[in-house]
Amino acid sequence: MHDNRSEKENIADGHKHPHEPVPAPVKVNGLTVRYADGTSALKDVTLDIKAGEKVALIGPNGAGKTSFFLSLVGVLRPESGTIMIGDVPVDKDHLLTVRRKVGLVFQNPDDQLFMPRIYDDVAFGPRNFGHTEEEVREKVEAALETLGIPHLASRSSLKLSGGEKRVCAIASVLVMQPRVMLFDEPTAFLDMKAKTRFLEILKTLDQTRIVATHDPVVAAAVADRIIVLEDGRVIDDGPAAEVLSR
């Protein structure tokens, strides 16, 4: 199955490098999510994130950050409210399209890296979508090159450091050329050197980017805008410096 993107999308990409996707806006309106046991995860969340915007989502554990991400990729279905990624609604009829447009990098890279070699981890997505092996190779090499890790292609994730795993997990998402990238606590368990390198890599990505973190220092380093979640609600939203000063 090849990429059946609309003519409009292809024209929109016409001025871009083939490995440089057009960022997409994210519009969330009145999003309320409840878990199967009745626990409320998100309560009437409304957000408008512009294409290419760099956002940090901060709040304590249990605030709803991961639930928000799982809602954006259609894993959690809302009790009420809507989500749009560009002009595509996040609903059961559009999940395949949504998951091409939105890439989620999990908190634990071991959840994303499970193949014998990093090359195969990064190739997994394009292969799953039916690209030829030549197309897969081109996409994998481009993703690894973008992140400066072509030397890790033949390595096993079992032999990598935490920082190396983290960057390889990004490659496995970046290879699909998503328009929105979500990062769930991306610097957790990294030492200072690996964290610094990782934050530098994040800044090079052109996609609309949302980083969930409980660390204000990380939020300030990666975002122009900060959204604060507490108990499933947005309690603050604005320019990073203003929100952190509050």
Average pLDDT over every residue of 26-39 = 94
Across residues 44-71, what is the average pLDDT?
95
pLDDT of 29 above 80: yes
pLDDT in tens, 106-147: 999 999 999 999 999 999 999 988 899 999 999 999 999 999
Taking CA 46 as the corner, what is the angle to CA 9 and CA 41, rounded to the nearest 5 degrees?
A: 110
The rounded distance, in Å, linking the Cα atoms of 139 and 106 is 21
- Structure confidence at residue 20 (pLDDT): 60
Burial 78-100 (b: 16+ CB within 10 A, else e): beebebbbbebbbeeeeeebbbb
Q: What is the residue whose two structure tokens read 């490995």?
A: 19
Q: What is the mean pLDDT of the chain?
A: 89
Tokens of 153: 């292609």
**Chain-centre distance for alpha carbon 124:** 17
| 214 compared with 141, residue with greater pLDDT | 141
Report field, pTM of the whole predicted structure over 0.85: yes
pLDDT of residue 149 exceeding 60, the answer is yes
219, HSE (Cβ side, Cα atoms, 13 Å): 23
Q: Is 193 exposed, middle or buried (0-12, 13-18, 19+ CB in 10 A)?
A: exposed
Mean pLDDT of 47-67: 94
How many Å separate Cα 63 from the centre of its chain? 18
Highest average pLDDT, of 1-5, 42-46, 96-100, 125-129, comes from 42-46
Report pLDDT for 204: 86
Domain residue ranges in the chain: 7-245
Q: In 3D, which of 10, 51, 57, 63 has the Cα closest to residue 27?
A: 51
pLDDT at residue 197 in the model: 86
CA-nearest of 65, 21, 58 to 222 is 58
Mean pLDDT, to the nearest integer, of 198-206?
Answer: 87
What does the alpha-carbon distance between residue 57 and residue 23 come to, in Å, rounded to a whole number? 18
pLDDT above 70 covers what percent of the chain? 91
Residue 173: its H or E element: helix 162-174
Q: How far is CA 199 from the centre of its chain?
A: 14
Supply the pLDDT for residue 98: 94
Is the pLDDT at 28 greater than 90, yes or no? yes
CA distance 152 to 84: 36
Give residue 8's pLDDT: 34
Q: pLDDT value at position 226?
A: 97
The pLDDT tens digits of the residues spanning 86-113 come to 999 999 999 999 988 999 999 999 999 9
Class of 7-245 in CATH: alpha beta
Mean pLDDT of 177-192: 91
Specify whether the CB–CB gap between 44 and 30 falls below 8 A: yes
